[in-house]
Amino acid sequence: MKRLNELSVLEVLEGLKNKKFTSSEVTKACLNKIRETDTKINAFVTVTEELALKQALDADSKIAKDGSKAFDKHKLLGVPYACKDNFCTKGVLTTASSNVIKNFIPPYESTVTQKLIDAGVVLLGKTNMDAFAHGSSTETSDFFTTKNPKDLSRVAGGSSGGSAAAVADNMCSFAIGSETAGSIRIPASWCGVVGLKPTYGRVSRYGVIAMASSTDSPGPITKTVDDAALVLEIISGKDDMDATSSSNKVLDYLNLPVDKTLPKIGIAKSYFVQGMEEGVKDAVLGAIGKLSDSGFKTSDINLMDPKYSIAVYTIIQRSEVSSNLARFDGIRYGFDRSEFGQEAKKRIMLGTYALSAGYYDQYYLKAQKVRTLIIQDFKRAFESCDVIAAPVVPSVALKIGASKDSAMFGELTDQLNEPSALAGLCAITIPCGISNGLPVGIQFMAKQFNEDKLISVAKSLEKLLKD
Amino acid sequence: MLSKEQVLQISKLAKLSLSDAEAEKFRSLLGETIDYVKVLEELDLSQVLPTLQVTSITNAQVSDEPKKSLTKKEVLTNAPNKDESYVKTKAVLNKVSDL
């Protein structure tokens, strides 16, 4: 029988509705787990124990008073979660894992965390990340590296490493992360959990400490696809505070109508890059094979070589980073700019150069033109399929220290996620196998606002892999 | 490869003060990155327009109505140097003749 901290979101909700246990009990189980193992894993920057217990008690009172009706208004009532530390949580320390703002207490709530509060969640704490989200391993956190729960000598991936590790180690029922290009998919894949990167604009960025404003996408990291679907519904929607947020209808992603025809799956051959680990390739192709055997039509599709996306993403992201991090002046909040870590300084420098007089056309403008080609490339691909299947990353979780002193570690690791991120598409990763004892994730990508197709295919695969 | 002067100029624009060792390290790292992105020169971009944002949204506006906002106290919570009503910062103008 599962322990309370091992339950999925839906299992917690079912248990609470049927009075099998209380939110306080689930919350305490999670807090105990954090106490037990987080000294080894380092998923959390801040654990909000007092707040969590108070919120759990409030949830239990609501349930005692209104019974299962309480869940109509508050769809995640009493469910304990962990939040990446780049979401402004009012009154709760928010650091982006950076020494520059290690003392920052936000005076306002991000839209995502406000929506979760309104849904009745319990906040367990804020999770570790690459500082300012600059990385793919959570090694550039100014505080500490988050270890992979499956192998403590390896990284959890990044930049949402803390959130992914917390879910994988059952320290919470679900977590919130964010992705600029790979920062949900990679840690989810390396830790063996589900990660969903919504369409750009599906989820509001208000109150999320910005990295690259033209690709940043907050999203859920969960134990199951159903959990990701429910959390996605809660956090999505138009927000007046985010001019890029979409008024596209938010679907009931958990209860989607059954597809009359199965979505067609395109296999991105160019994403099986040279040097990819055989075990990763086998696991991903094996999963696609299972889908094909169960009736899904699959076909090979051609996509642009990921090498161009690496260059485009490096220029655009670092340029936008240099602009976004200009606000950290140590005057209105935070410490002096000398507190930036090496990775942040490196990215600010490249971005400043790419945007400076005489170089803007050569770098930023050129990158935005190639971005157009990447978007057109996907448009063409989606004429012959509904979702695109691919590996998430060419290897399983790397050993701690692999990223040291690399000029472009983050961008190179993210290569299979950058094209879809630049095009603002949605994507999901679910665990599909093991290689050398470590989790392998498969990703599915779809056109903007086609999260329903992703969820449908991912759910089917999840079921096939269980059976 | 960038020159040391270029690296120092960029650091000035970015308001980052670098040590000599850092400047040399970044000179090499930036050089590597700049070399990498040259791969974009392989592509014919003569007929291509840039994409500045990937939503189809234009002219996103909100109505200009006064709303409840943060109090002065809340705004000043995190300022390292402040008085009751202001964030304090270094002097920008030194003399009346600077005006």
pLDDT in tens, A24-44: 999 999 999 999 999 999 999
Give which of B41, B42, B55, B70 to mutate to test A binding, by max A Cβ within 10 Å.
B55
Provide the pLDDT for residue B56.
86
Whether A296 and A262 have beta carbons less than 8 Å apart is answered as: yes
> Which residue among B43, B49, B52 sits closest to A308, beta carbon to beta carbon?
B43
Looking at the complex, report in whole angstroms how far the Cα of residue B93 sits from the nearest Cα belonging to chain A: 17
Closest chain B CA to residue A321: B14
In a 10 Å sphere around its CB, with 0-12 CB exposed, 13-18 middle and 19+ buried, how is residue B22 labelled?
middle
* CB nearest to A331's CB, from B16, B54, B87: B87
What residue of B is the nearest CA neighbor of A324?
Answer: B14
Q: What is the pLDDT of residue B98?
A: 61
pTM of the shown model? 0.97
Catalytic residues of A: 84, 159, 183
Nearest to A97 by CA among A186, A197, A209: A209
Q: Which two tokens stand for residue A422?
A: 């630049």
- Taking a C-beta distance cutoff of 8 angstroms, is the pair A423, A378 a contact? yes
When the pLDDT of each residue in chain B is averaged and rounded to a whole number, the result is 91
Which residues, in sequence order, are CB contacts of A96 under 8 Å at separation 6+? A85, A86, A129, A131, A132, A133, A209
B55 to A331: CB separation less than 8 angstroms, yes or no = no
For the stretch A202-227, pLDDT in tens is 999 999 999 999 999 999 999 999 99
**Can you give the pLDDT at residue A256?**
95
CB-CB under 8 Å, B36 with A311: yes
Best mutation site among A305, A349, A373 for testing chain B: the one with the most B CBs within 10 Å? A349
- Measured CA distances, B46 to A48, B42, B43, B52 (Å): 54, 12, 9, 17
The confidence band for B62, taking pLDDT boundaries of 50, 70 and 90, is confident
A135: its two tokens: 């990385």
Cα separation, A196 vs A194, in Å, equals 7
- A-chain residues within 8 Å CB-CB of B34? 350, 353
User: Does the predicted interface ipTM exceed a cut of 0.90?
Assistant: yes
Yes or no: say if A160 and A216 are a contact pair by the CB < 8 Å rule: no
Chain B residues in contact with A322 (beta carbon < 8 A): 14
Task: Note the pLDDT of residue B99.
Answer: 62
Q: For residue A374, what is the nearest residue in chain B, using CA coordinates?
A: B51
- Report the alpha-carbon distance of residue A7 to residue A459 in Å, rounded: 18
| pLDDT tens-digit map of A100-158 | 999 999 999 999 999 999 999 999 999 999 999 999 999 999 999 999 999 999 999 99
Give backbone dihedrals phi and psi of A398, rounded to 5 degrees, phi first: -85, 160
Coil, strand or helix at B1? coil
